Amino acid sequence: MNGTPPYTYTWYLNGKEVATTTSPEYTYTLTNMGQNLLNVTITDSTGYTVYAYLTVNFTYNCFNIIVIAVIIIALVSSIALIFRSKGHKKGPAISQQPPPPPG
């Protein structure tokens, strides 16, 4: 990178400043569905500024959601089969009392 260090990085999401760092790396978790514009301005110690931007389309991954739902259904079904094979069945609880004392 050209310029005179140190550098200041100002990070923007959809036009709003979210952070100022001295590192060229920054992690931000997107929460706005749809297209998001990520910008960074880099300023060196002399005040010279450059910028870069990236558009990110943040959507749900429907395939992954379906796979997770199928796994959950399979797990619930497996657990139900285990309970049935162990003798756990729906119905009223049976109370077993000890036999009465002799005499």
* pLDDT at site 6: 93
86: left (phi over 0), alpha (psi -120 to 50) or beta: alpha
Q: E strands along 14-88, which residues?
A: 16-21, 34-43, 49-58
27-83 tens-digit pLDDT:
888 787 888 898 998 999 999 989 888 888 888 777 767 777 777 777 777 666 665
Rounded-to-integer distance, Cα 64 and Cα 103, Å: 69
Domain extents in the chain: 8-58
Residue 97 has pLDDT above 70, yes or no: no
